Every structure is written in structure tokens, then in C-alpha cells.
Amino acid sequence: MSAKAIREATGKELLNRHLGSAAAKCRFVPVSDGSDWNTLVAQNPWMKTEKLVVKPDQLIKRRGKLGLIKVNAGLVEVKSWVDARMNKETQVGKATGKLRNFLVEPFVSHPQSDESYVCIYSHRFGDTILFHHEGGVDIGDVDAKAVTLEVAIDEKPSVEKITTKLLAKVTSDKKTIIANFIKSLYDVYVDLFFTYLEINPLVVTGGEVYILDLAAKLDSTAEFMCKQKWGEIEYPAPFGRDALPEEAYIADLDAKSGASLKLTILNKSGRIWTMVAGGGASVIYSDTICDLGGASELANYGEYSGAPSEQQTYEYAKTILGLMTEEKHPKGKILIIGGGIANFTNVASTFKGIVKALQQFQPKLIEHNISIFVRRAGPNFQEGLRVMREVGQTLGVPIHVFGPETHMTAIVSMALGIKSLPPEPEPQQTTANFLLPGGMNAQSPASSRKPFFQSTNGSSTSGNHSFDGEYSGETLFSKKTKAIVWGMQTRAVQSTLDFDFVCSRKEPSVVAMVYPFGGDHRQKFYWGHKEILIPVYKNMGDAMKKHPDAEVMVSFASLRSAYESTVETLQYPQIRTIAIIAEGIPENMTRRIIKMATEKGVCVIGPATVGGIKPGCFKIGNTGGMMDNILASRLYRPGSVAYVSRSGGMSNELNNIIARSTNGVYEGVAIGGDRYPGTTFMDHLLRYQADPNVKMIVLLGEVGGVEEYEVCQALKDKRIDKPMVAWCIGTCASMFSSEVQFGHAGACANAERETAVAKNKALAEAGAFVPPNFDDLMDKIRQVYNGLVEKGVIVPQMEVPPPTVPMDYSWARELGLIRKPASFMSTICDDRGQELLYAGMPITDVIKEELGIGGVLSLLWFQRRLPRYACKFIEMCLMVTADHGPAVSGAHNTIVCSRAGKDLISSLASGLLTIGDRFGGALDAAAKLFMEAYDSGAIPMEFVNAMRKQGQLIMGVGHRVKSINNPDMRVQILKEFALENFPSTPVLNYALEVEKITTSKKPNLILNVDGLIGVAMVDLLRHSGCFSREEAQEYIEIGTLNGLFVLGRSMGFIGHFLDQKRLKQGLYRHPWDDISYILPELHHG
């Protein structure tokens, strides 16, 4: 939703900050449950000295008429009035809610004659300013009484025009004041992206303008532009529906996601809960539930769409299931997991998130007697439905699963017990990106299809891949259409190319891509079996210049950049059609785009759309979904039916419905779900009317707006005389007690005329074929189509298989159709899901349980959690080995490299390369040496003597500086910890006995750090109870212990590098006097 209502206090605060001196500053004090009156009065002393006005501030209309305003009262009276109503249930129309927020203001004494009315609201072509010289509670029908001033987009009304058009009945002493106020008010209205602003009454007295009552809406999509001007904005729930923390949680998820996640709780005690994919589909499911008598039991409205991840879907499902299982219902509860045929959302991925939540709530699902009904289709839906069926067999909860062979809303009547459950459907014959062998042999529901359809005038239009769009009138797409794609949307481009190929186009429709965040290059794609390169340009101008035949721009620009990129596109006359996919573009920007496009004669599809499709010719981006749906819906060749819809998701469902009930789609366009789509229903319906290849039309409208009435008028005056099947979704809106904003920004009725019920009635009266509900839409389309067949308008004939499109390797792997040996194996870490896993442990648990660096190493190096003492010992090893001064070889090399101007990685590598048997790398060798000696049964003296006889040094023994008289405190610390905390230390004890012998010969032959860590780690691995003897041996042999020194000393090397950079040390050159120059003597003969 874009236009969102704000509290009166919020609106007045915005005007106080931005209106300047055009009106007196609004003084007000918000009062809510828990407010301290003493504090409020101390902060606003005028509350004690002036008469006051108090009223609820909860988006309640006509408060004066409802007796919800107290005027000219003292503080005590106001406090008493608020206390009597705070948290008390109040009936406002059909809605019942509790009053929790009030507004206290100074009472402005004035005669009735000083009151007036002003309102500004936005529409497709500009803004309207309404003014009436009388205002207040008894103003009556403002639309009939008020005078209006229409302000075109990007225009500003002058004081003179305002005075002339609006203030004819205002007394002369007030005209200038009010005119200046309205001008300033309109400037603020535009600058702050208001969509509605009403002041009633506006009082002018004593030479000042006072704003008494205010109602306003902001374009919430403009937050990224207006955040600094707005500050923090709260959008309260409509009166009668409290905002729940779960709704706020989903709203927060939605704000942080590129997907769309919406949740509105209608009745927490309701029996029927929905979890629906798609904005349009979510409305239709609610409609159907209400039409079938379930309005009073409908618990929620919501939707998830835009390819949410598995984790996001899990969070969404978990939230709904949590609410659903808070209280029981005597009849049990119903969960409808529905949706249309997705265009690009991976159904399996989202269903895995839902399944995860279902498994988590299994006991409660059984306890609350919940039945689940599933219907979904789209990319990878076969896997998604399989997963859902499998979980149904293990949960102990009845789950009934259906795919695209079942009408979208048929599961509602099944869930409500109105229709019996059908037998398990047969699996589809198509899948993913190719046609399965024999798949075309199965009879489709419209079994009378033939290779081409023939109109009664004798002209034939190919019904398969030889169609060339011979209609020469106004058409958006043909078999020769060329497009440029804005954005690095490789998946959408490949989908378009696959569609081109299956339609037997001679060459790809996408000729170039524009991506301003990289340099010019070429991107590889597939054309059937062959690889091709499509150029990618940094600058749009270069793309246009090098591809003058491109006439369509498909823009995947984000909501923040879509406006600028579209304006740039409109500068190139070669572009005739622009599709804007992004949702959430600020409405003022969209209206400017529409104005510019209209002036230039460019067709704009969107914003907030998936696009459009002309079977056999061209499709926009992800329209039509994956290849399995394109094949199943026969979108590779034209049919006889053209449709126009607002919803992108529902356009794919219409493809399916039309394919199952007629000879297929000729053209389909989703104009977009925003309040101001670039083109209207009529723009496309008139094209369909003029195209002789279109034999019948389908219109899918929705609640909100009045564009459908233009269609009604066109039907009445015969500008459209082709058979039209029409249905407007959102019929459920009138059954809700409080206002509900549906999935699309434009799907909200602001007047009775904008309701879906009123529109459906008007369309039926105008001559359209209107079914009783969406459930019957397919039957109505089939009925009209069969009538045209009987009249000979269409002669259906046999179907011809299209070319086979190869499946992408990545998608075949996703579907589990192929397998391939992996190039790498990893058993310690997994980054594929929503959360990083260390040896199977989520990173959030690693942090939450404070495993520390030692714990992380235990997971990544040893694939298990070690005891806390073991993790502590590992951390101590890292600390004591971190550094040993700048003189040791590794630190020296790091310093020299750093001073030579090398980077951190190079300097660190230089130091690490010195680690070996002579420096720091003796941990493994010491561990093996002492371990083997201990295991052999040789006493320490025998071991020392044997090493001496062999002429070998004892690794891990000896120090250049430290001795028995000057012990290494690092060794002492580690030794004491191991002896005190390890379960057993036989190898360490053995090494200490060896040390007694070696130090008796020479005091510096002590057990050094390498030796101590080596032998202690042997004891830890062998006796911690976490490893088998074989595992312990393997970890020692593969270099694990040396890894401790490498990791620890890396910290010191990095420290030396940073130290040299910080000291700004220059290039190191070793001094001559520290080098012995001994050259050979040359004898000259």
C-alpha cells in the first residue's frame, strides 16, 4: 500500500515544521493510555489557563457527528471526559474498537461564519483542491457544494488563480489570507508527498489561520526521499482493528526484504486462516471464503510474494501458525495454503519454509484439530507439492495437496465442506524447462484444439510457431519485436530467450542489456542448444545507438532508480513500449512518467507488474513463468482470447484458466497493482477491440479506482462490442468491519462506487458476462467461448507440438533430475541456507552460547563441540603463541616485507613461510616423538639415550634464552592448566620426566612452548572422551597442532605489519657492519 493514513497529531506536526507563517502553529498534546497528566500540563502550561478541545485521534471520520469531540472545556472536564472513554469499546459504523489515543488542543473561539473547508487529493492526472466557504460538522455533501481547482502535474497554482477559482464567496477581508494559505499548503502537500489532506474546519479569525481538524494520508513509498523531512512516521491501524505485535513483526520483515510480506489480523478467534502467495490471489481467496459464507470466520488477510527465501517464508508461516494455535475452535480450524501460478518464485523453496514451520508446530496442529488445504503452481511446483504431500504423511494432520490441474479457489469449497474432495490428481506431463517425452500426446482440457484457428472472414492465423502477427493496426508486440533489458536480470533474459525459441522466432527478442554499474561487456546466454552473447552497455545511449531496431524497454530498475532510468528511456523516440517491473515507486514520480509517456505516445506497462505476453511473439521478462507453464498453457502460439489484469501473479493464472477453457491466449497484459498504472484497462481493451484476431476479451479488475466504469461506458456505446467476460476481485471488502488494504497499492475502496461489488454490477448491466464469483470464472469463459465456436466465429483445430527447449543444468539439478560428482566436499561449514552453519551449528547459537574462538575451532577443526576446558586451553595456546617479539624470523620477515611497501596479505605470507621445524613448526613433530616414545613403553632415560645415539634432537625441547632457572612463563601457565583441568595427562607427565633428564645435562634444555602444546594436545585428543584413538592419531598426523601455532602467530605478524605502517617506517636495508663479507680470492695468471 502506498497511500497510508496518519494521525491528526502527525499531520499537524508536519505542517508546523514546513508550513511557515501561512498559519498559526498548531498547539496540541497527544494523550494515550498511561500518559501522566501532571507531566503533560507541566510541559504545556496553556492546558491550565485556556479552554480546551479534546477528541480521539484514531482515524475516525465525522467525530463531531458521533459526539466524539468535547469543546470549550476546562482541564478537569477534559481529563474526566478522556478517563470515561479511555480503553472503552466504541461503535463507529460497523467497526467496534477501543479508544486509546486522544488529542487535546486549545479552544479557538470563533463564530460559525469564520469556518471554511479545504481539501487536496491526488488522482491520475494531477491534484484537485476543494474549497467551500462554509465548514464544520454540518457541511454535508462536500462534493456537491465545494468549488474545485484542478492542478496539473508539475504545476503550481498562483494566488490569483486560487482567489478567482475558489474564493468567490469569501469575504474580501479574508481572501488574501486564505489564498496565501492554500498556496503554501499545496506547496507542502507536494513537497512532503501527501496523497490526501483535508482540513475541516479551517478557521480565519483575528487575521490568523487556524487548522482545527485535519485528516491526511502520505505516500509511504516516498520514505526514502522524505525521511529527513518526515522524521519517524507511525501509520496506525484503522479504527476497530488493533495493531498486533505479529503484524508489526511481518511489516518489519517486509521492510527488510525485497519480497512482499503482508499480514492483517481480522479475527483472532476465526476458524479459517490463509497463507496465500500473490497480491491478487490473496484477495481472491478472501473473496471466495466470504462468498461461501465464511466471512465471520475469516481470521486473517495476508500475502507473500516476490520470491521470498525459505527462511523468510518460514518466519511468515511460523507467525501465522503461532496466532492460529493460540485458542481452540469447537469445529477445528482450516489453513488454506493457496496461490496462483507463480511467474518466478521457487515454489519448492517457499514450501520448504512452510513445511519447517508445520513440523515445528506439529503437536499444536494436532491439538487444535487443524486441516490443511494446498493449491499452488509455478517454478519447481512439482517438488514443492511432493514435499508438502510427504509431510502430510508424517505430521498426523490432514493435508490435501493440489496443483494447476485444480481451479485456484476450488480448495476453499473443499475446505468448507461444500464440495467433496476429488481423487489424487495425476502428475503433470511437463516439468521445468523442457517437454517430457510423450507429454504432448495427452489430451488437454480443450481437446478440440488444432494447428490453427480460423475466423469466419476466411483469414487464418497460425495457431503454432509460424504466427507472424499479420494484423497491421496498433499492436505492442510482434514476432519481430526487439527489446533492451535494463538491469542485470540474467534469469529473466534467459526465460525470454527460451520463450522466443519455443515460439520458433528466427532470432532472439532481447538485443541488449543496460547495466550502469559495470563496464561494457558481453553476457552469455542460450539460444536453444547454442550459446550466444548479448552485449551489456554501461550507458543507455550506447545501447540505443547500436540497436536502433529495439522498440521495447523492459526495466528491472529498483524503486529508487526506476524513475530516472524511465525518464532517460523516454528521450529515445525508437522506444514505443516501456515495462516497469518495480513496485513501490512514489506516486508523484509515476504520474510524471505517465504524463511524459502520454505526450510522447509511449505505452507504459506497470509499475508493479510482471509485464505482458503475446503468445508466439514476445513476452516481458518473467511473464508466463517457467517453460512447463508456457507449454501447459499453450503460450507458444496465439489463441483467440485477449485479457487485461491488474495483478501480475493472476495473469499467469488467467493463462492457465483460458488455456483450459478455450483455444488459448492471444495477448495478455498485467497493467500493474499500483494506484496509477502507466496504461489503463481501456488503453488495451480498445486495442483488442480493433484487432480482428481477438475474438473475445477477459477483464480482471479489482476493488479501488473507477477505471472499470470507463469500460462500462465503452460497452454501452458499443466502442467495445466483442464478448467480454469480466470480474472485479475484492468483493470481500464490504464484509469487513474495518478498512483493509489489500496486496496492491490501488486495491482499496474510498467510496461505494469503488467497491468490487458495485463494479461487477455495473459491468453486468453494461453487457459484460460477469460470473457470480471467481470460482465460476472458468465456466463463464468456457460458456462464452463455446458460444463463439457454435456461431462459427472460431473454428478450433488440432494442436502441433512446439520445439523442445533444453533444460538448464542448474535447474535440472534443482529439480533432482540429474546428479553429478561434486568437485569439492565440505563437512565443516554450510553457507547455502539462510544461516551459516559451523559443523551443523547455526552461527546464532555459536554466539548465543558464547562458544568463543576455542569453541569455533572445535567445530571447524574437529567437527564437534569440545568440553569447555578444551576450548579454554585452545584459546590459551593462541594467546601464548601470538607473538614472541620482532627478532624471530617470522616477525622479521613480516617487518621487512611491510617496510618494502607490500600489502598485509603479502607481508603475512612472508612471515608464515618461515614456520617449519626450526621455527614454530615443532608442535606436530614434538607430539609424534613423545607420543611414540610413551606408547613404546620406553622409560624417559631410554628415550633420551636412544635419541642421542641416533644423533637426533628431541623436538619440543630447548630454548635459546629460557632455562630451568629462568622458566618460560608461557610454558608454566599452559602446564598448570593442563595438569589441573585435563582428565588425564600421561604424555605430558612423560615429557616432564624427559625434561628433568635433559635439564640435568644443560639448564636450557627445557620443554618449550612447542613441546608443551604438542604433548598436552595429545592428551586432550586421547582422553577428552570426544575422539576415538584412531581419530586422535589422524588429527596429529594431518598437521592440526601446527595449525594452532600458525593461527596464533598470525595475530602477532599482523600486529607487526600494522605497527610498521603506523610508524611509517621506510624501506629496510640491512647494515653492512652486520654482514661478514667473505669473498673468494681470485688468482690472476
Per-residue pLDDT reduced to its tens digit, 893-926: 999 999 999 999 999 999 999 988 778 778 889 9
What average pLDDT does this structure show over 977-996?
A: 96
Residue 747 pLDDT grade (very low, low, confident, very high; cuts 50, 70, 90):
very low
Average pLDDT over the chain, rounded to an integer: 89
What average pLDDT does this structure show over 432-445?
A: 39
Tell me the pLDDT tens digit for each residue of 496-521. Answer: 999 999 999 999 999 999 999 989 99
Question: Greater confidence, 168 or 455?
Answer: 168
Nearest one of 432, 434, 283 to 348, comparing CA atoms: 432
CA distance 609 to 580: 7
pLDDT at 918: 76
What average pLDDT does this structure show over 1-9?
A: 88
Out of 675-679, 753-757, 810-814, least confident range? 810-814
Which whole-number Å values give the CA distances from 439 to 632, 675, 1019, in the listed order?
10, 42, 65
**Cα four-point dihedral sign 759, 763, 764, 769:** negative
Tell me the pLDDT tens digit for each residue of 477-502. Answer: 999 999 999 999 999 999 999 999 99
Residue 1003 pLDDT grade (very low, low, confident, very high; cuts 50, 70, 90):
very high
pLDDT at 742: 52
User: What whole-number percentage of the chain has pLDDT above 90?
Assistant: 72
> What letter does residue 735 receive in the DSSP assignment?
G
3-class DSSP state for residue 910?
Answer: helix
Residue 428 pLDDT grade (very low, low, confident, very high; cuts 50, 70, 90):
low
Checking if the pLDDT of 539 tops 90, the result is yes
pLDDT at 435: 44
Is 1023 one of the catalytic residues?
Answer: no
pLDDT at 816: 75
Cβ atoms of 292 and 338 within 8 Å: the answer is no
- For 565-582, the DSSP string reads HHHHHTT-TT--EEEE--
pLDDT at 469: 41
The alpha carbon of residue 11 and the mean position of all alpha carbons in its chain are separated, in whole angstroms, by: 29
Q: Which grid cell is 417?
A: 465442506
Sequence-distant (≥ 6) Cβ neighbours of residue 776 within 8 angstroms: none
What average pLDDT does this structure show over 836-848?
A: 94
Label the pairing between strands 483-486 and 510-514.
parallel
Size (the chain), residues: 1085
The alpha carbon of residue 163 and the mean position of all alpha carbons in its chain are separated, in whole angstroms, by: 47
CA distance 360 to 356: 6
pLDDT at 745: 44
CA distance 649 to 757: 22
| Exposure string for 203-218, b = 16+ CB within 10 A, e = fewer | bbbeeebbbbbbbbbb
Nearest one of 1021, 1005, 1001 to 1013, comparing CA atoms: 1021
CA distance 704 to 104: 34
What average pLDDT does this structure show over 344-351?
A: 88
Active-site residue, selected from the candidate residues 744, 884, 959, 1023: 744
Model-level pTM greater than 0.95?
A: no
Q: Identify the residue whose cell numbers are 458476462.
A: 769
pLDDT at 271: 96
Cα first-last separation, the chain: 100
pLDDT at 143: 81
What dihedral angle (degrees, nearest 10) is formed by the CA atoms of 770, 343, 658, 474? Answer: 90
Cβ atoms of 712 and 762 within 8 Å: the answer is yes
Residue 946 pLDDT grade (very low, low, confident, very high; cuts 50, 70, 90):
very high
Nearest one of 888, 906, 779 to 409, comparing CA atoms: 779
pLDDT at 807: 83
> What letter does residue 222 receive in the DSSP assignment?
G
Residue 337 pLDDT grade (very low, low, confident, very high; cuts 50, 70, 90):
very high
pLDDT at 735: 64
What average pLDDT does this structure show over 571-588?
A: 95
Cβ atoms of 994 and 943 within 8 Å: the answer is yes
